[in-house]
C-alpha cells in the first residue's frame, strides 16, 4: 500500500493536474472575489468563510477525474482489482494521495488567502482546523464519485453532478465553523458534525467505491 501511495504521488506531481491546478484555482478565487464584491473590509470579512470553503471545494473537484482514470486507461486498475490488496484499501490509498497533493496544500495556503479576504483574526485557527478536518471527506467522496464514473468517456461532468450534492454538508458545516470562530461563538456543534461526516465517509465510502469499481470492470 505504501508503494501504491508513493506511485500515485509521483504520478500526480509529474502530471501537474492536482497540486498546481488546485492551488492556482484557489488563488484565483481569493483574488477575483474582492474585485467582484468590492474592497469593503466589512463585506469581505462577512463572506470570507464561505468563499474560502467554496474555493477549497471547487479546487478539490478539479482533479477528481484523475483518481482512477489513468489507471483504467493503462490497465493498472484491472491488476489492482485482482491483486492480493483489498480493493477497499486501494480506494483509501488513492483518496489519501489525492488529499496529500490537493487538500493538504489548500489547508496550508488558506491562511495566506484569508488575508486577501480580510478574514477576522480569530477565524484563522478555525479555518485551518475545519479544512484539515473536512478536506479528507472531500477526497473520499470524490473517490466514490470517480469510481462511479470510471470507464465512462467524458464522465467528468457527470461525476461533478454526482459529487457536488454530497459535498454540500461538508461545505455548510466547514464554513459555519469558520464563521462562528471568527465571531467568537461556540463552534462545538458544527465541528462535531464536520468530524462525523469525515468519519462516516472514511468508514463507508471506500467499500461503496470498491463495489462500483468491480461493477464497472465487469
Residues 108-165: pLDDT tens digits? 999 999 998 999 989 999 999 999 999 999 999 999 999 988 877 766 778 888 899 9
Three-state DSSP class for residue 107? helix
Residue 130 contacts residue 178 (beta carbons within 8 Å): yes
Residue 15: the pLDDT is 61
Indicate the pLDDT class of residue 107, thresholds 50, 70 and 90: very high
Residue 16: the pLDDT is 55
Percent of the chain beyond pLDDT 70? 96
Residue 53: the pLDDT is 95
Q: Is the pLDDT of residue 13 over 80?
A: no
Residue 10: the pLDDT is 79
Q: Is the pLDDT of residue 103 over 80?
A: yes
Q: State mean pLDDT over 6-34.
A: 77
Indicate the pLDDT class of residue 81, thresholds 50, 70 and 90: confident
Residue 122 contacts residue 45 (beta carbons within 8 Å): no
Q: Which long-range contacts (CB under 8 A, 24 or more apart) does 32-35 make?
A: 33/117, 34/116, 34/117
Measured in whole angstroms, how far is the alpha carbon of residue 11 from the centre of its chain? 18
Q: Of 216, 218, 215, 213, which is closest to residue 92 (Cα–Cα)?
A: 213
Indicate the pLDDT class of residue 21, thresholds 50, 70 and 90: confident
Q: Is 210 exposed, middle or buried (0-12, 13-18, 19+ CB in 10 A)?
A: buried
Residue 200: the pLDDT is 96
Residue 18: the pLDDT is 55
Q: Give, in order, the Cα–Cα distances in Å from 101 to each of 62, 94, 171, 179.
A: 12, 11, 20, 26
Lowest average pLDDT, out of 62-66, 134-138, 145-149, 203-207, goes to 62-66
> Distance (Å, rounded) from C-alpha 174 to C-alpha 192?
10
Grid coordinates in use for 106? Answer: 489548500
Q: Is the pLDDT of residue 82 over 90?
A: no
| pTM above threshold 0.95 | no
Q: Which of 4-8, 12-16, 21-25 has the highest mean pLDDT?
A: 21-25
Grid coordinates in use for 22? Answer: 488546485
Count the neighbouring beta carbons within 10 Å of the beta carbon of residue 185.
12
Residue 20: the pLDDT is 74
Amino acid at each position: 500500500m505504501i508503494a501504491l501511495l508513493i506511485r500515485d504521488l509521483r504520478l500526480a506531481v509529474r502530471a501537474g493536474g492536482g497540486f498546481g491546478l488546485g492551488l492556482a484555482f484557489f488563488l484565483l478565487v481569493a483574488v477575483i472575489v474582492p474585485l467582484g464584491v468590492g474592497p469593503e473590509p466589512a463585506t469581505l470579512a462577512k463572506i470570507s468563510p464561505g468563499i474560502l470553503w467554496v474555493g477549497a471545494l471547487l479546487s478539490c473537484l478539479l482533479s477528481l477525474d484523475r483518481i482512477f482514470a489513468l489507471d483504467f486507461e493503462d490497465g493498472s486498475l484491472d491488476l489492482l482489482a485482482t491483486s492480493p490488496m483489498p480493493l477497499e484499501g486501494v480506494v483509501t490509498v488513492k483518496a489519501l494521495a489525492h488529499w496529500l497533493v490537493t487538500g493538504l496544500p489548500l489547508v496550508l495556503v488558506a491562511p495566506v488567502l484569508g488575508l486577501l479576504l480580510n478574514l477576522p483574526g480569530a477565524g484563522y485557527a478555525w479555518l485551518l482546523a475545519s479544512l484539515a478536518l473536512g478536506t479528507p471527506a472531500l477526497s473520499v467522496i470524490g473517490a466514490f464519485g470517480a469510481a462511479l464514473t470510471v470507464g465512462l468517456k467524458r464522465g467528468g461532468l457527470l461525476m461533478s453532478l454526482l459529487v457536488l450534492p454530497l459535498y454540500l454538508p461538508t461545505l455548510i458545516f466547514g464554513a459555519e465553523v469558520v464563521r462562528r470562530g471568527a465571531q467568537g461563538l461556540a463552534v462545538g456543534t458544527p465541528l462535531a458534525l464536520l468530524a462525523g461526516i469525515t468519519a462516516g465517509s472514511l468508514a463507508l465510502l471506500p467499500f461503496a467505491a470498491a463495489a462500483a469499481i468491480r461493477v464497472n470492470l465487469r
